[in-house]
Amino acid sequence: MLNIDNLHVYRGKTYVLKGVDLHVNAGEIVALIGANGAGKTTVLRAISGLLRPQNGHIQFQTAPHSDPIDLSALPAEKIVSHGICHCPEGRGIFARLTVRENLMLGAYLRRDTPQIQRDRDEITDLFPILKTRFGQTAGNLSGGEQEMLAIGRALMSRPRLLMLDEPSLGLAPVVVQTLFETLRKINRRGVTLLLVEQNAVMALELSDRAYVMETGRIALSGSSNDLAANDAVRRAYLGGRR
Amino acid sequence: MNSGYVLQQIVNGLILGSMYALVAIGFSMIYGIIRLINFAHGDIVMIGAFATLGLMQLKQVPFFVIALAVLGCGAMVGMVIERGAFRPMRGAPQVTGFIASLAVSIMIQNLGILFLTAQPRNFSFPAYMQRLIHWGPVSFRVVDAAIIVTTVLLMLMLLAIVYRTRLGVAMRATAENMDVARLMGININRAIWATFAIGSALAGIAGLMWGGKFGQIDPLLGYVPGLKAFIAAVIGGVGSISGAMLGGFLLGLAEVLFVGLLPPIYAAYRDAFVFSTLIVMLLLLPNGLLGRASEERA
């Protein structure tokens, strides 16, 4: 579904991604883990069009059997409509807008109003707390609620591929637990997930496959179970448990 | 000094404040969306005034149509300025945009002098607009009442656009976080363009009012309303639309009351008073009356 080939990206003058290859199959949960500054966020920003790659290809299949399109030539505001939604680092909710407005912005490009209403109901069933906060400004929500809003908003665009950047950041362990259960639920409904996480334990538990990034390159990749058992990964990212 | 006199001054203050507020709104909106201090904003008032003067030469055109055309003319000028001067600098440091806006302002003023000459021109509305109305101790012209009513109507329309439409949500989202706005599918260039169009349309119509109120216009007339709108925006809280409205009315009232209620020898210090207000405001309430605690975006 998503195929990244030899991706090179500069962030300003810094050479961040030095040839990344990565693919995501439809229906999967794929995790991208690695230390701070390895370039995980940059990968997502390049896919969603916020950064222009210097070199390389990002191919995406907009429907199950369609020919892939090249995303690297499209601006960010065009990419959402092809079925990719990027839930950015730090959640990126609009703090001064209401919860309702935030959700509806997720469906900004959609025109199928009745279906939008149904999706909104479905999403508020998934995150019931949002319904009680509809008229409030999003800045008043707690961190966990903001994360739910960010994910709910992303779902409003009906993505085929949902990319999440550090959804667990700054949340209490209990909240993270429920959040990850919800992510699994979303995946079962047919949304493919690409997840960037610092919390490698949780990420490897949730995902089918994972990539380990080191200074702009993919250092390791494989099934999440294998990686979780890998000594080098355990020492570096899983707190060195034996 | 009787109460009728004070009431009259308050009415005068509201009239002046209406025009300040209309200019301040656009100024504040533009700052809110791209953090640009746009010193060329006042010059759109001048363009609006001259556009009105030009259109009034066409005898058959009803006044209402002229007003609509002036709104459209302001919007167009704002869009051209944004496209030509500010969009190429998107992403540059704040000070670059500020200097660019000064350049645009100087250019507009000098083009005005070149093509329209620096000679002030008489600006007179049709006779029925000049008629005096007496309401108890207060008297005002039809044009004055029209200024206040039009201002209030335009403000209501603006709030409806900003808070009730898809475009308004897109504009507010863009003002808050451009990257995330793009991720939602918002074309931020169009949202910014719309902001310039709306803000500049209001400045243009303020030019029509300015001419009608003072009866004389020249190519440099935009300088003063531009500066005062800046102060009004600071008083209300730069970036806040309701703040700009409040700030504009307060500044107009304060200015008129300062001149009207103090002994006449102080009248010459009118602008000094206005600018002292700015300094006091910046010292005591740097975020303005309705502004948020200053947040710099990452």
A100 shares contact with chain B (CB less than 8 Å): no
Chain A residues 201-240 with CB within 8 Å of chain B: none
Q: What tens digit of pLDDT does each residue of B251-295 get?
A: 999 999 998 888 888 888 888 888 898 899 889 988 889 887 654
As a whole number, the mean pLDDT across chain A is 93
Q: What tens digit of pLDDT does each residue of B26-53 get?
A: 999 999 999 999 999 999 999 999 999 9
The minimum CA-CA distance between A83 and chain B, rounded to whole Å, is 11
| Confidence check: pLDDT of B64 > 70 | yes
Mean pLDDT across the stretch B95-113? 96
pLDDT at residue number B298: 33
B182 shares contact with chain A (CB less than 8 Å): yes
Give the number of beta-carbon pairs within 8 Å between A and B: 61
| Confidence check: pLDDT of A241 > 60 | no
Read off the DSSP letter of residue A67: P
Torsions phi, psi for A32 (to 5 deg): -120, 110
pLDDT at residue number A73: 87
Locate the chain A residue with the closest alpha carbon to B185: A77
How much of chain A, in percent, has pLDDT values that exceed 70? 98
B165 shares contact with chain A (CB less than 8 Å): no
Q: What is the C-alpha to C-alpha distance for residues A213 and A198, in angstroms, rounded to an integer? A: 11
A10: CB partners within 8 A, 6+ apart: A16, A54
Q: What tens digit of pLDDT does each residue of A84-96 get?
A: 999 999 999 999 9
Q: What tens digit of pLDDT does each residue of B117-157 get?
A: 999 999 988 888 889 999 888 999 999 999 999 999 999 99
pLDDT at residue number A116: 95
Whether the predicted model's global pTM rises above the 0.80 cut: yes
pLDDT at residue number B297: 39
pLDDT at residue number A240: 56
pLDDT at residue number A98: 96
List of chain B residues whose C-beta atoms are within 8 Å of the C-beta of residue A139: none
Q: What tens digit of pLDDT does each residue of A97-121 get?
A: 999 999 999 999 999 999 999 999 9
A89 shares contact with chain B (CB less than 8 Å): no
Q: Cα–Cα–Cα angle for A32, A35, A37, nearest 5°?
A: 95
Task: Note whether A97 contacts B173, CB cutoff 8 Å.
Answer: yes
pLDDT at residue number B296: 42
Q: What tens digit of pLDDT does each residue of B70-93 get?
A: 999 999 999 999 999 999 999 899
pLDDT at residue number B72: 98
A2-237 CATH, one of 3.80.10.10, 2.60.120.1440, 3.50.50.60, 3.40.50.300: 3.40.50.300
pLDDT at residue number B4: 86
Please name the member of B170, B182, B184 whose beta carbon is closest to the beta carbon of A106: B184
| Order of all β-strands in the sheet with A84-87 | A84-87, A161-165, A192-197, A29-34, A209-214, A217-223
For every residue of chain B, DSSP letters joined together read --HHHHHHHHHHHHHHHHHHHHHHHHHHHHHHHH----TTHHHHHHHHHHHHHHHHHSTTS-HHHHHHHHHHHHHHHHHHHIIIIIGGGTTS-HHHHHHHHHHHHHHHHHHHHHHH-SS-EE----HHHH-EEEETTEEEEHHHHHHHHHHHHHHHHHHHHHHHSHHHHHHHHHHH-HHHHHHTT--HHHHHHHHHHHHHHHHHHHHHHHHHHHSEE-TTTTHHHHHHHHHHHHHH-TT-HHHHHHHHHHHHHHHHHHHHHS-GGGGGGHHHHHHHHHHHHHHH-TT-SSPPSP----
| Confidence check: pLDDT of B190 > 50 | yes
Torsions phi, psi for B15 (to 5 deg): -65, -50
Task: Note whether A88 contacts B179, CB cutoff 8 Å.
Answer: yes
List of chain B residues whose C-beta atoms are within 8 Å of the C-beta of residue A108: 166, 170, 184-186
Domain boundaries, chain A: 2-237
| Confidence check: pLDDT of B59 > 90 | no
B166 shares contact with chain A (CB less than 8 Å): yes
What number is the ipTM of this complex? Answer: 0.93
| Confidence check: pLDDT of A180 > 90 | yes
| Confidence check: pLDDT of B221 > 90 | yes
Please give the structure tokens belonging to residue B60. 């058959």
| Confidence check: pLDDT of A221 > 70 | yes
Mean pLDDT across the stretch B189-205? 97
Task: Note whether A94 contacts B185, CB cutoff 8 Å.
Answer: no
Q: What is the C-alpha to C-alpha distance for residues A132 and A145, in angstroms, rounded to an integer? A: 11
pLDDT at residue number B1: 64
List of chain B residues whose C-beta atoms are within 8 Å of the C-beta of residue A77: 182, 184-188
C-alpha distance from residue B230 to each of A59, B27, B109 (Å):
49, 7, 18
Higher local confidence (pLDDT), B270 or A193: A193
Using pLDDT thresholds of 50, 70 and 90, give the confidence band for residue A135: very high
Please name the member of A75, A80, A96 whose beta carbon is closest to the beta carbon of B184: A80
Strand partners, A197: A33
Q: What tens digit of pLDDT does each residue of A138-178 get?
A: 999 999 999 999 999 999 999 999 999 999 998 999 999 99
Task: Note whether A108 contacts B186, CB cutoff 8 Å.
Answer: yes
Q: What is the C-alpha to C-alpha distance for residues B154 and B68, in angstroms, rounded to an integer? A: 12
